[in-house]
Structure 1
Amino acid sequence: MPQSISSMIRKPIVAGQFYEADFELLEKQLQRCFSHRKGAGGLPVKKRDRQVVAAVAPHAGYPFSGPCASWVYKAVGETKLPDVYVMLGVSHNGLPSAISIQDWQTPFGTVQTDKEFARAVEQNSNLKVDERPHRMEHSIEVQLPFLQFVNRDYLQNLRICPIIISEDIPFDEAARGIVKASKMTGKRILVIASSDFTHYGVSYGYTPFADNVKEKLYGLDKGAAELIAKLDAYRFLEYVDDKGATICGKHPVAAAVECAKLLGAKKGRLLQYYTSADLMGDYATAVGYAGIVFEKTADVKGEQ
């Protein structure tokens, strides 16, 4: 008898490419992300007294975006384990928004999806369960080893709700549905949006400037990050459209910003930003990576 969709496991598609496929090698790779000169400088401390309710993390290969992501996951790892991590991804293939109820496998093991919460999101929004957009999409998958790594003492209780957010559904309606599902089920959530920032270069079809590329690219992405930190999702999307900035996950980011506002955050904080060219030394092609967190408390801890 064939397995039902809900009982099947979503297998990794970029293990061995974006990150190591071997358990021990992946663990060492993640440790290097934290200790990297662009990384957070240390692993999460055991004391979980932060109140992160939402975040934005990059999703490129770990040698490139991993050090930036470490800043986000250090803050996540120092926050009390939520009942559900709501993982918001983008479809690089242009497929529609969709919830996944499959469990997700990584080299560290299988991450369970909270099916009750996922169905509550479906009930309270226009989002529907559909595994097809998730099958060949890496944006959520790349976040999961980081999530497991910083929650390694709590893996039995780790639950996720993977959702692709595309432009077919208004981001604010999706956000309201997610937060309504949290209230309906009584489950505390932490929302993580997966997105890289501007992709610059001929290969990306985006070369709005030819000189002072580093300074202009930094300025472009920092302008977007400032609007995100102000919890202004509408102006953020307007800014991206006006500038033509190639921020691939603008819709999941906007949804996460709206969730953060609904969950009680008053502002966000840019913890780290750099580009792939800062690591490679060639600005002919560059991708921006930003790590942003939203906390309930007035002061967001952590230094850039």
Structure 2
Amino acid sequence: MPIRDQQKVRLSAVAGMFYENDPLILRRRLAEAEGKLPPIVPDAAEVKGVVLPHAGYVFSLPTAMAPLGTLRKKKIGRVIVLGPSHYVGFRGIAASDYSRWRTPFGDLSTATELFELMEHWNSPLVAVRDDAHEKEHSLEVQFPLIQYFFGQPEVLPLVVGALSMEDVLTLAPRMAELDAPGTLWIVSSDFTHYGTRFRYVPFTEEVPERLRAQDHAAAELIANRDLSGFASFLGKTGATICGMNPIALFLATLDVIDPARTFRGEIAAESNSGELTGDYRNAVGYEGIAFRKQA
């Protein structure tokens, strides 16, 4: 049965926790955050993808809004969202046969053609797993932002599980088939999770400065589209970047989409939870990166 005939709705799992459940209050929060962004730049260069955090809006919304700011008034027909799996362990990519994705702003519809294209790949690295989507906040937190900035584009939410570098390079040419003009890629990732709560305490002195420096170094490698450098960085630091696999997959896919490297990453905003709470015993970093076409 075609997905468009199923009308299977994925209900919000974190509205009222990660962001407001009331559409008027939610829209007010987003509008207030947008009001702090720089003015819209006429004829701003095309943005192919963005890396956004997925923490609660009280922590990470300004950092998430910054890369999207220059996309205001842009026509986006489809959004492909790549996010890490926080609840279900598996290898590869999990698509879903949900036809709609509900938020306080209404429903987003699945890009059915892209979903069906992935089914035809017959790849052992691609599966349809609703269980990977049911509670996953890394994708959901992006949906209200998509609706606020772009209205009701079709979406293809994909949960990314464990991937080796070989898996990444195998999937990249296939993933590039999903791209088309008017498509935006959103890669959902928080950055370093520091502290005993996350079992990651590589340093105990000058924590705010070193946490910012570590996340900035990672963001620079990503912005420079240095996949091998990013992989080496993860190996050396053990940095607890939850979306490292979605990021790696996007970078490899972008190399196929744009072999001439006309798109370059720009770090639009950086922050961490400690700046808000004052507690650096356990803190999470956030980076906002936009991949913009160079003149």
Conserved? CA contact 2:264–2:294, under 8 Å:
no
CA distance in 1, matches of 2:81, 2:169: 16
**Alpha-carbon contact 2:4-2:112 (below 8 Å) kept:** no
Q: Which of residues 49, 57, 61 in structure 2 aligns to 1:62? A: 57
1:102-141 alignment runs, 5 A limit: 102=98, 103-124=100-121, 125=123, 126-141=125-140
Measure how far apart 1:281 and its partner are: 1.8
- 1:290 maps onto 2:287 in alignment: yes
Cα pair distance change 1:150/1:292, threshold 3 Å: same
Partner residue of 2:223 out of 225, 229, 253: 229
Residue of structure 2 in register with 1:172 after alignment: 169
- Superposed CA deviations along residues 52-105 of structure 1, whole A, max 9, x for unmatched, are 111100000001000100112213335431x32110011012433201231100
**Distance in 1 between the 2:69 and 2:170 partners?**
30
Q: Which has the higher contact order (CA 8 A, sep 6+)?
A: 2
Q: Tell me which amino acid in the other structure corresponds to 1:295.
A: R
* Counterpart amino acid of residue 159 in structure 1: E
Tell me, what secondary structure is at the counterpart of 1:136? coil
- Displacement over 4 Å in runs of 4+: 3-6
Moved more, 233-242 or 190-199: 233-242
Q: Distance in 1 between matches of 2:225 and 2:146?
A: 24
1:60-99 aligned within 5 A: 60-81=55-76, 83-96=77-90, 97-99=93-95
> After the TM superposition, which of the residue ranges 56-65 and 159-168 deviates more from structure 2?
159-168
Amino-acid identity (%): 35
Structure 2: distance between partners of 1:120 and 1:75: 30
Q: Which residue of 2 aligns with 1:205?
A: 199
1:217 equivalent in alignment to 2:176: no
Q: Which moved more, 1:264-273 or 1:186-195?
A: 186-195
Q: Name the structure 2 match of 1:100.
A: 96
In the TM superposition, what whole-angstrom CA distance separates every residue of 1:17-62 from its partner, at most 9, and x where no partner exists? 00000110100111233345xxx356x57x5643111110000000
Residue 49 of structure 1 contacts residue 80 of structure 1 at CA under 8 Å; is this kept in 2?
Answer: no
Aligned residues: 283
- Which residue matches 1:22? 22
Contact 1:101 1:115 in 2 (8 A): no
> 1:292 and 1:41 mapped to 2: Cα distance?
16
Unmatched segments (≥5 aa) in structure 2: none
Shift of residue 201 of structure 1? 1.1
Instruction: Note the alpha carbon deviations across 1:168-199, whole angstroms, 9 max, x for none.
Output: 462233332121233xxx66422110000001
Contact kept, 8 Å, 1:54 with 1:259, in 2: the verdict is no
Aligned to 2:188: 194
Alpha-carbon distance between aligned partners in 2 of 1:223 and 1:106, rounded to the nearest angstrom: 34
Report if the CA contact (8 A) 1:85-1:160 is conserved: yes
Report if the CA contact (8 A) 1:233-1:257 is conserved: yes
Going from structure 1 to structure 2, the CA distance change for 1:267 and 1:187 (only over 3 Å counts) comes to closer
Q: What is the rounded CA distance, in whole Å, between the counterparts of 1:209 and 1:258 in structure 2?
A: 31
Query: Contact 1:90 / 1:252 at 8 angstroms: preserved in 2?
Result: yes
Question: Residue 302 of structure 1 corresponds to which residue in structure 2?
Answer: none
Q: Flag the 1:78–1:173 CA change in 2: closer, same or farther, 3 A.
A: farther
Does the 8 Å CA contact 2:67/2:288 hold for their aligned counterparts?
Answer: yes
- Partner of 1:65: helix, strand, or coil? helix
Is there any run of 5+ residues in structure 1 with no aligned partner, and where? 299-304
SS at match of 2:221: helix
- Any conservation in 2 of the 1:121–1:180 contact (CA below 8 Å)? no
Aligned to 2:275: 278
- Cα distance change of structure 1 residues 168 and 254 upon mapping to structure 2, 3 Å threshold: closer
The 1:198–1:62 alpha-carbon spacing in structure 2 relative to 1, beyond 3 Å, is same
Q: Return the letter of the residue paired with 2:135.
A: M
Relative to structure 1, the CA distance from residue 223 to residue 176 in structure 2 (aligned partners, 3 Å threshold; closer, same or farther) is same
Aligned alpha-carbon RMSD (Å): 2.2
Taking a change above 3 Å as real, the CA distance of residues 85 and 48 of structure 1, as seen in their structure-2 partners, is farther
